[in-house]
Each structure stands twice: as structure tokens, then as C-alpha cells.
Amino acid sequence: MIREIRERAADARRFATLPDPFPMWRGGVLHGARIAYETWGALSPARDNALLLFTGLSPSAHAAASADDPSEGWWEGMIGPGRPIDTRRYHLVCVNSLGSCFGSTGPASIDPATGAPYRVSFPDLSIEDMARAGFEVLRSLGIERAHTIIGPSLGGMVVLAFLAQFPGAARNAISISGTAAASPFAIALRSIQREAILRDPDWRGGSYADERPPATGMRIARKLGMMTYRSAAEWRQRFGRQAAAPELRGREPFGPEFAIQSYLETHAQRFVHSFDPNCYLYISRAMDRFDLAVHGPSIEAVFARARLERALVIGVESDLLFPLDEQRALAAALSQAGAATTFAPLDCLEGHDSFLIDLERFGREISRFLSGA
Amino acid sequence: MIREIRERAADARRFATLPDPFPMWRGGVLHGARIAYETWGALSPARDNALLLFTGLSPSAHAAASADDPSEGWWEGMIGPGRPIDTRRYHLVCVNSLGSCFGSTGPASIDPATGAPYRVSFPDLSIEDMARAGFEVLRSLGIERAHTIIGPSLGGMVVLAFLAQFPGAARNAISISGTAAASPFAIALRSIQREAILRDPDWRGGSYADERPPATGMRIARKLGMMTYRSAAEWRQRFGRQAAAPELRGREPFGPEFAIQSYLETHAQRFVHSFDPNCYLYISRAMDRFDLAVHGPSIEAVFARARLERALVIGVESDLLFPLDEQRALAAALSQAGAATTFAPLDCLEGHDSFLIDLERFGREISRFLSGA
């Protein structure tokens, strides 16, 4: 279990204490739970300029550099004065998801009832719980209504769960490469990733030692993730059939031979040391289970109750995991529910992860939405 | 090691002894090697009606039922009297690939030098070796020139290696969802599949016990294969978010919950008991390494030397692993080299495996090609 992964000299995190008990959507409660978050820009006196940002599966709340933590954030370039998420105008709050391992309560945290980490005794985690935790962070800041809630990937799903549970708590919403319900293809991929971890003998039913996490399972899970976060076309341009550097080719039989293999290995090694395996399992399963329609009677009805003014849905053609037709359907439902909706299908080459890479095009859409209309 | 996997009452296999020594393309030789094959239809007195069929990664030579083995073959429906591959007219020879485990010599076979299975001491295996083995089968049957060589998937790659090495030994060629060189995306996928096997403690450096193969690695490899053999759109139609049957949901934490998961599990279990892990590793790596251009100076030059009369290239739009642009490029090169080439891009829903499922559309193309022009 890897509780506090990033040892940083600087730390911009703040912590919101969740209501105790905090009821989980599928049953069970948490006691003494907290959410780590970071903020950028000032909250207006009327408290009406807050943007709430939910992350993808693996990032922390550190979306961008700030005075308290000048290290580069996961969405650096998107956030700051004059940037698409303009911190001269908006007060941005980015939360580390409930269930994650960068300061928020999750399976790697200490269960106050036992004094030992929860591990697999953590209650069932749902996308709905992550949304509620974000809502509570806003409440702790005295914000009744967010100007806009934003989320890419998993974060996009959390945005939808927020709308379903807290009607009127957000004026506008931006969903980036998210989905109202995982497809069987995405479920298949994620369940194979989880299986690689669960079957790693070092997982030990969730009770792995700190110094011996299920590294093989995590590496395989991450490599599979990389395959679906990017696109075949990007890799063809970038790697082609280039050989791996000789020092990376390894001497064991069937070792890496191509550059694409060492690229995956480098990313995978990094992941093993930066994310807790049990947290990964919990969040991954929550993504499979999420189905906005259960808040029904239809997703249009869910959105109508949410009373959004405007919505932006961005999707990418080369995304295998959250395909464009799911983005289109989402935009159609939002529009039908009465939100002034912009659907932005982008033909970026980088697949699902394009929002992290093609900041120019994503920035243009977000900037136009936030500044406009 | 699983040497003879299918215990069948009926057996239509025949065996061709390869020249001894049989030189391997990347070095090393085999002694006493053999290839299992099956045939359908009669060879004409002029020996000019032979079709040579190479298989995908995992099938045996049993492509269709016959008097000697009435069990269903892997391309049943495509082969027989009046079928697209019309056995009243053609003499079809299907070979089990060199390196596989259904009667042909491979890593699971006994090394005559030691009396023990080769396992990872089997020499480096290349697509070129599989092609040479097929060529030797034809020679053993007294066939100087095949009417047409045919191959889907891996088999399509073997067809190209055959053309590169044996100019004039085939009049026509059909490549189905093959490729002249694996893309980095395909290499990534296959290397993750191999890694799952290599990292399974039960692999034991290739020396696994018969009764304890690296089942977890093989199951994960197969599930990943299934993800790329089919398509997201097909699964959406077929499974949606349907729950797994209660008896399949399992009681361990993070067990299967959705029908797509039990579908994958069923296929994966079957694979563990039907394919040898070391054979899988060897063939999979050979696919990554294959690059027709090394026979150069260009693939057009390779094809020009082959002196094909006609060629048919079939590809499928939803194929993630052998994408349509690779099929298109292949057809263009064949055409430029002087073969009368038909390119048939099909919009089947079933992805890479469409050739096994959409027999009607594939049959129509093959039938037209074989009967026509």
C-alpha cells in the first residue's frame, strides 16, 4: 500500500473534511474521510465564479503550478492567467477523487475503526460517491453553486453523476471524453487490467507489502491503459518499427526489441511507483459500474432536473475507450434536456488522452465556452 | 507443454517430412521436422489446381470436415463442394504452421538431439520459416506451382513471405487481414500478451509442467486477443451492459459482473487447454518481427519478382490489429508490381475475426476471385 506517494517539498493541497458519517452510494459509510484539493484564482465576493474540476483515473489534485507548489501540474498550460481556464476570472477547485491515493480518503487510507489501512475492506466505491465528495468540497468553501463543473475521462463521468445528484448545484458543465455508461469494450479492457493485478501473487488479496506491490500486474494494467489512451496512428508516426535502444533490449528470452515496447515499459515502471493498486481496482470497477440511466427515468430526464444553462461535450474521433458516438449521444441528451449545448468532435491523433496533449484545440473549445455566450 | 492437444477419434491429418536439416531463416536448423496438413478435393492430373492455405495464430490444419474427420473445422462453410473454396474444382491443402502444436514441429515437440521437448531451446522462428515449411509440403505432394496461396491474419503474412522466398511457386495469392509489417500498436498488444505469460510464475522459464501451464498468463493473453479480434460495435450490440449469469459472477472480490466478462472468461479457459504457451510465444514474436521490406529493395520489387498473375486483398474497416490502411497499401503494391489485384475493403462489424464469421461476404469475394477472371 502506497499511502503518500509524492513526497514534495512544496504542497499546495488543502483538505476538506467530509460529513461524518459519509454515506456511500452502494451502502456502507466512511468516518473521518477527507478530500485533498487545490485551488487557483480568487473566489469572487458573490462566490459565483467557482469551477470544479474532477480528474481522470490517476492524477492528483495538482492540475497546474501555483505559488505554493510550482511543480508542473497534469493540465499545465490549460490553467492560469490568460489561459483557457483563466484564473484571473475564475476560482478553480480541483479535487483528488474519493478512493484515490493523493491525499483523499481511499482504500490505502487508515480505517479509523481499526487503525490499519482499509485495503479491500473499503466500502464499494461509485462514481456517485466521487461526485458527492466534490460537492462537499464546494460546500466547505461556502459555494452553493458552481459556475461550471468540468471533467475529462473518469472526471467526465463524475460530472454527470454530480448533475444527477445535485440539481441546481452547477450552472454549466463540460464533459470531455467521458460517458454516461461504459461500453462492453471498455468494461472488457478494464476487467483485464484488474485481473492482471488480482492474479499477481504479490497482490496477496489486497494485503501487499509496501515494498512489494503487485508490480507485474500494475505494469501490465498500465501498458494496456497506454494502448487505449493513445492511438495506433499516433504510434505509427512516432515509433514505427524503430528498434529499442540496445541497453533496454534485455537479455531474457522474449525481451523487448522495439521502441514501442520500451516506451510502454518506461511508463509502466513509473506507474507502479505512483499509484496504489487497491485504489486502482476500486476506481476502475466504479467506472465499469457507472450507468447514469439508473438515476432515470432517462438520461434526458436526469439532465432536465439538473437545470443546466449551458453544456460543452468534447470527444475525439480516435478514442477507442470513450468513443465519439457516446459523446454525440451525451450532447444530444443534454440539448434535449434544455441546456444550450455545444458538441465539439475533434479529430486529434492522440486518442483518449488528447485532452492532455492537444491543449491548443481543447483550450480553444474550453476558452470559447467559458468566456462566451 | 501440451503436445497433442486434440484427442480425436477421427484424424484427417497427414504429415510431410521437412528436408533434414531444415535451415531456419534467422539461424539454426531443425532435424526430423514435420508438418501436419489436411487436404480436400482431388489433385488434377496436371497438378495445377492446388490451393495452399495458411492459418491464423491458433487454428490447426483442420479447416473443414472431411470423410476422415467429420468434426467441424475452423473455416467450415467456406470449404466444400459448391462452397467458395470449391473442392470439386480445387485441391485444398491446409497446413498447421511450423512452430504450432497441432502435429507440426514446434517448441512443444521433442528435440531429437536431447529426447526432451525443445521449449525455449527451439530456434528463432520467423514467418519466413512457416512459408518455407508450406512450400515443402507442396513439394512433397509433387506440386511445383500452387494455383493460389491463401491466408488470413498470420496466414496472410505467411502468404507474403512465401511470395518473397519462392518466386513463381504460386500463380495467384489471397491475403486476408494480413500485413507486410506489424504496426507499433499490434506489437504493443502482442508484447503485452507475451508478457502476461512470461511473468506468470507457472511459466517457469518455459519449463512448465503439463498439468500446470501458465494458465493466468494464457487467459489474459487470450482475453486481450479477443478484444482486438472483435470490435467494440459488435460487443455493444451483442452484450451491451447485460449482467453476467449469477453462477458466473464468482465470490472473490472484483469478480466478473458483466456478461462480456464471462464471455471472455469462457474463451480464455478454452484457450488454456488448447494451445501450448511456448508455441504461442514463438509465433507471436515472429509476427512482431515480420517485415516484408527486408526482402527488398521494396515490397513492390518483392512482388514483381514473385510474378503473380492475380491477387486479392481483403480487409475489414473495424480491424484494430491489421487496419484497413495496411490492406490498402498491400493491394497498391501488388498492383504496382503487375498483379491484377482486387482490393476488397469490407465494413463488417466483427473486426479482425470477420473472416471467421461473415462467411457470406468473405465467401463472395473469394468465390469470385477463384472462379473468375
pLDDT value at residue B170 = 98
pLDDT value at residue B8 = 55
Classify burial at B300, counting beta carbons within 10 Å of its beta carbon; exposed 0-12, middle 13-18, buried 19 or more: middle
pLDDT value at residue A74 = 97
The per-residue pLDDT for range B190-248, each reduced to its tens digit, is: 999 999 999 999 999 999 998 999 999 999 999 999 988 777 888 889 999 999 988 77
Nearby residues of B259 by Cβ (< 8 Å), 6 or more positions away:
A184, B239, B242, B243, B244, B245
Cα–Cα distance measured from residue B22 to residue B18, given in angstroms and rounded to the nearest whole number: 7
Nearby residues of B90 by Cβ (< 8 Å), 6 or more positions away:
B41, B49, B50, B51, B147, B370
**Do the chains contact at A185 and B227, CB–CB below 8 Å?**
yes
3-state SS string over A177-237? CCCCECCHHHHHHHHHHHHHHHCCHHHHHHCCECCECCHHHHHHHHHHHHHHHCCHHHHHH
**Do the chains contact at A258 and B226, CB–CB below 8 Å?**
no
The per-residue pLDDT for range B117-172, each reduced to its tens digit, is: 999 999 999 999 999 999 999 999 999 999 999 999 999 999 999 999 999 999 99
Q: What is the mean pLDDT of residues A291-308?
A: 96
pLDDT value at residue B332 = 98
Which of A122, A179, A195, A281 to mutate to test binding with chain B, by most B CBs within 10 Å of its CB?
A195
pLDDT value at residue A3 = 43
Do residues B60 and B102 touch, judged by C-beta distance below 8 A? yes
pLDDT value at residue B246 = 82
Q: Please pick, among A104, A319, A353, A354, the residue that the annotation labels catalytic.
A: A319
pLDDT value at residue B83 = 97
Q: B275 by DSSP, 3-state: which?
A: coil
In sequence order, what are the beta bridge partners of B53? Answer: B94, B150
> Does B232 lie at the interface with A, CB-CB under 8 angstroms?
yes
Do residues A95 and A61 touch, judged by C-beta distance below 8 A? yes
Q: Which of B264, B256, B262, B284 is nearest to B224 (CA)?
A: B264
C-alpha cell read off for B202:
507457472
**What is the chain A residue with the closest CA to B241?**
A184
Cis peptide before A297 (omega within 30 of 0): yes
Cα–Cα distance measured from residue A63 to residue A95, given in angstroms and rounded to the nearest whole number: 9
Q: Which residues of B103-115 are buried (b: 16+ CB within 10 A; e: fewer)?
A: bbbbbbbebeeee
**What is the chain B residue with the closest CA to A240?**
B184
Q: Which long-range contacts (CB under 8 A, 24 or more apart) does B206-215 make?
A: B206/A253, B206/B107, B206/B119, B206/B120, B206/B278, B206/B281, B207/B119, B208/B1, B208/B277, B210/B1, B210/B2, B213/B1, B213/B2, B213/B272, B213/B276, B213/B277, B214/B277, B215/B272
Nearby residues of B130 by Cβ (< 8 Å), 6 or more positions away:
B54, B97, B98, B99, B158, B161, B286
Q: What is the mean pLDDT of residues B5-9?
A: 53
Active site residues of B: 153, 319, 352
Residue A180, min C-alpha distance to chain B (Å): 12
Cα–Cα distance measured from residue B140 to residue A142, given in angstroms and rounded to the nearest whole number: 85
Whether the model pTM is above 0.90: yes
Nearby residues of B350 by Cβ (< 8 Å), 6 or more positions away:
B230, B231, B234, B316, B318, B356, B357, B358
**What is the chain B residue with the closest CA to A282?**
B254
Cα–Cα distance measured from residue A123 to residue A115, given in angstroms and rounded to the nearest whole number: 16
Please list the alpha-helical segments (H only) found in chain B: 127-140, 154-165, 184-198, 215-229, 232-238, 259-272, 277-289, 299-306, 324-336, 354-357, 359-371
Q: Is the pLDDT of residue A6 over 60?
A: no
Q: Is the pLDDT of residue B366 over 50?
A: yes
In sequence order, what are the beta bridge partners of A39? Answer: A93
Q: Which residues of A touch B260 (CB under 8 A)?
A: 184, 187-188, 191
Which of A124, A191, A282 to mutate to test binding with chain B, by most B CBs within 10 Å of its CB?
A191
Q: A8 by DSSP, 3-state: which?
A: coil
> Does an H or E element contain A331, and which?
helix A324-336
Looking at chain A from residue 106 to 145, which residues have their Cβ under 8 Å from any Cβ of chain B? Answer: 120
Cα–Cα distance measured from residue B226 to residue A45, given in angstroms and rounded to the nearest whole number: 56
> Does A239 lie at the interface with B, CB-CB under 8 angstroms?
yes
Q: What is the DSSP letter of B201?
A: G
Looking at chain B from residue 45 to 104, which residues have their Cβ under 8 Å from any Cβ of chain A? Answer: none
Phi, psi of A182 (to 5 degrees): -65, 140
Q: Which residues of B touch A196 (CB under 8 A)?
A: 196, 220
Q: Is the pLDDT of residue A373 over 70?
A: no
Q: How many CB atoms lie within 10 A of CB B212?
A: 9
pLDDT value at residue A2 = 45
Cα–Cα distance measured from residue B118 to residue B111, given in angstroms and rounded to the nearest whole number: 5
C-alpha cell read off for B144:
511445383
Q: Is the pLDDT of residue A275 over 80?
A: yes
Q: B268 by DSSP, 3-state: which?
A: helix
Cα–Cα distance measured from residue A267 to residue A235, given in angstroms and rounded to the nearest whole number: 15
Count of positions (residues) in chain B:
373
Q: What is the DSSP letter of A50?
A: E
Nearby residues of B84 by Cβ (< 8 Å), 6 or more positions away:
B78, B359, B362, B363, B364, B366, B367, B370
Nearby residues of B151 by Cβ (< 8 Å), 6 or more positions away:
B53, B54, B55, B157, B158, B159, B174, B175, B176, B178
Q: What is the DSSP letter of A242?
A: P
The per-residue pLDDT for range A25-45, each reduced to its tens digit, is: 999 999 999 999 999 999 999
> What is the residue-averaged pLDDT of chain A?
94
Q: Is the dihedral of CA B143, B61, B305, B371 positive or negative?
A: positive
Same fold, A14-182+291-371 and A186-283: no
Q: Parse chain B into domains and list their residue ranges.
A: 14-183+291-371, 186-283
Q: A94 by DSSP, 3-state: which?
A: strand
pLDDT value at residue B9 = 63
Q: Is the pLDDT of residue B1 over 50?
A: no
Q: Which of A174, A178, A176 is nearest to A312 (CA)?
A: A174
Q: Is the pLDDT of residue A199 over 90?
A: yes
Nearby residues of B247 by Cβ (< 8 Å), 6 or more positions away:
none
Q: B113 by DSSP, 3-state: which?
A: coil
Phi, psi of B13 (to 5 degrees): -70, 145
Looking at chain A from residue 298 to 357, which residues have their Cβ under 8 Å from any Cβ of chain B? Answer: 320, 323
> What CATH number has the domain spanning B14-183+291-371?
3.40.50.1820
pLDDT value at residue B343 = 98
In sequence order, what are the beta bridge partners of B175? Answer: B151, B313
Q: Provide the pLDDT confidence category of residue A273 given band limits of 50, 70 and 90.
A: confident
Tell me the residue type at A272.
Answer: V
Q: What is the mean pLDDT of residues B322-342?
A: 96
Cell 484457450 maps to which residue?
B271
Q: Which of B284, B257, B242, B197 is nearest to B265 (CA)?
A: B257
Q: Provide the pLDDT confidence category of residue A144 given band limits of 50, 70 and 90.
A: very high
pLDDT value at residue A1 = 40
pLDDT value at residue A7 = 52
pLDDT value at residue A255 = 87
> Does an H or E element contain A80, and which?
strand A79-80
Kind of pairing between the strands at B50-54 and B22-23: unpaired
Q: Which residues of A touch B224 (CB under 8 A)?
A: 192, 224
Q: Which residues of A touch B259 (CB under 8 A)?
A: 184
Domain A186-283 falls under CATH 1.10.40.50: no
**Superfamily grouping for domain A14-182+291-371:** Alpha/Beta hydrolase fold, catalytic domain (3.40.50.1820)
Residue B183, min C-alpha distance to chain A (Å): 6
**What is the chain B residue with the closest CA to A236?**
B184
Among A195, A199, A260, the residue with its CB nearest the CB of B184 is A260
Task: Kindly report which listed range (A92-101, B228-237, B358-367) carries the lowest average pLDDT score.
Answer: B228-237
Residue B119, min C-alpha distance to chain A (Å): 12
pLDDT value at residue A8 = 55
> What is the residue-averaged pLDDT of chain B?
94
C-alpha neighbours within 13 Å on the C-beta side of residue B244:
21
C-alpha cell read off for A7:
513526497
pLDDT value at residue B262 = 92
Cα–Cα distance measured from residue B11 to residue B33, given in angstroms and rounded to the nearest whole number: 20
> Does A291 lie at the interface with B, CB-CB under 8 angstroms?
yes
Among B183, B224, B260, the residue with its CB nearest the CB of A232 is B183
